[in-house]
Amino acid sequence: MFRAPLRSMATSARKSLTIGLIPADGIGKEVIPAARTAIEAVGSDLPPTRFVDLIAGFETFTRTGVALPEETVESLQNECDCALFGSVSSPSKKVVGYSSPIVALRKKLDLYANIRPVLSVSPNPGESSAVDMIVVRENTECLYIKQEQQTIGEHGKEARATRLITERASSRIGRMAYELAKARPRKHLTIIHKSNVLSVTDGLFRESVRALHEKYPEVTVAEQLVDSAVYRLFREPQIYDVMVAPNLYGDILSDAAAALVGSLGVVPSVNAGDNFVMGEPVHGSAPDIFGQNIANPIASIRSAALMLRHLGYMKGADRIDLAVDSVVRDGQLLTPDLGGKAKTSEVVEAIVKKI
């Protein structure tokens, strides 16, 4: 098992750490406090740490008419060093005036990279994992620019969406992916695309990432069409080390990969830019289990560790990750999504004791 350091931000001059907490909707209100508890347990391996409670989400929208208050954005930009985001309940049907606050935050804070490690925990410490990969997802473009329109054509309603791929965004997500691959033992990068069909948009993504290879000669580069990548992900996940993909493909691949390690409830992520990082568990708001004390807090706690790792606090991040590994290996305290009967609070307590 290998946890590569992310491209760290300088921490030597930081005398304190301010973390914004945005639980947002549903079980985010249960798992973000769990992540805070884990960070607090690290203690002296972090500088004096302060938490700022912030709001966003669909519930905020229903109360105020705004999903992402400007006060939240200003606090993140001017007061916080980093942040943790819980989960958002985005309705499947269009709601006038509403758009996802997490998508907006990624754009406003220029968090252009979504980094999702997918790692299975072996029952035996020190034994290699069957699944050990990182999905690096471009976070600002593709279909997620949300430029859609519906018109009436000859055969009734017609809906169209604009897909944006730029050389700038593709190159900088490629650079992030190469840096991560370079730091890992296998030093292998797979570019995910569908340029056999989308030769212009995916072609530009592929070419932009490919062009960086000469700067990273130690990294082996492969390519995979997105449909065959999904197939091979389930048949032979061990072939993947670092995968880099446009926004939509990365979203689908990283969620699919979570099935290989048991649950979305154990997979962390960070949204990272050059000046800010925000941890985010990859599960949804799960309104069907909210308030029952059975949500899996592991993805949120691991996201906190990943955030700390990105900031350069390796020792604190390692303590959290090793504590989670120990609890998962023990198998006595697992939430229902992993086949167990443990409560959220019991899992958090066990992890904190291990930290």
**Total residue count of the chain as it appears in this document:** 355
Nearest-10 Cα torsion for 201, 273, 191, 214: 100
Q: Which residue in 280, 215, 249 sits closest to 135, CA to CA?
A: 249
Query: For this structure, is 330 an active site residue?
Result: no
- Helix 226-235 and helix 247-258: axis angle, to 10°? 10
The catalytically annotated residue of 29, 178, 194, 240 is: 194
Contact between 70 and 101 under an 8 Å Cβ cutoff? The reply is no
Neighbours of 88 (CB within 10 A): 26
Question: What whole-number distance in Å separates Cα of residue 131 and Cα of residue 266?
Answer: 13
Distances (CA, A) of 349 to 36, 277, 292, 323, 325: 12, 26, 17, 11, 14
Catalytic status, residue 251? yes
Residue showing tokens 């798992």: 31
The active-site residue, picked from 25, 81, 241, 251, is: 251
Q: What is the DSSP letter of 320?
A: H
Catalytic residue among 45, 98, 187, 255: 255
Strand partners, 22: 85
Active site residue 255: yes
Q: Is 313 a catalytic residue?
A: no
Contact call for residues 333 and 282 (beta carbons, < 8 A): no
Would you say 55 and 72 are in contact if contact means Cβ atoms under 8 Å apart?
yes
- Give the DSSP H/E element, type plus range, for residue 272: strand 270-272
Residue tagged active-site, from 144, 178, 216, 313: 144
Residues 6+ apart with CB under 8 A from 47: 14, 15, 16, 17
| φ, ψ at 175 (rounded to 5°) | -60, -40
Q: Which of 53, 146, 215, 227 is catalytic?
A: 227
Distance CA 185, CA 189 (A): 12
- To the query of whether residue 53 is one of the catalytic residues in this protein, the response is no
Two structure tokens written together for 264: 């979305």
Query: Which residues are marked as active site?
Result: 144, 194, 227, 251, 255
